[in-house]
Amino acid sequence: MKLHIISPSGTLFEGEVQRVALPGAKSPFVVLRHHAPLISLLTSGGVGYTLPDGTEGRVEISGGFVEVRDEVVTVCTD
């Protein structure tokens, strides 16, 4: 699936990933392939992801929202 992390200043990450861990406003959650569509608020914290080769990465955000739809995870942060 594709992960896009965007902010008003530009794209913070864009690429193919196996999983995404998100700091949900109510509690943290993980998105895997074939996840049901959703929109959720995010709190400050790290967006963790695993690349297809197993490498892990993390982008710190100060809040925002995420949309999961059609194998695309889009994180909008400020």
Q: Is 63 left (phi over 0), alpha (psi -120 to 50) or beta?
A: left
pLDDT by residue (tens digit) across 9-32? 999 999 999 999 999 999 999 999
Instruction: Tell me the pLDDT tens digit for each residue of 51-63.
Output: 999 999 999 999 9
- Domain range for residue 34? 2-77
Q: CB–CB of 11/76 below 8 Å?
A: no
Which residue's structure tokens are 């695993």?
Answer: 50
Structure tokens given for 39: 């929109």
- Mean pLDDT (the chain) is 97
CATH number assigned to the domain comprising residue 52: 2.60.15.10
Query: Residue 78's pLDDT is what?
Result: 87
Domain count, the chain: 1
Q: Are 48 and 20 in contact (CB under 8 A)?
A: yes
Strand ordering across the sheet containing 10-16: 10-16, 2-7, 72-77, 56-69, 38-50, 19-22, 29-32
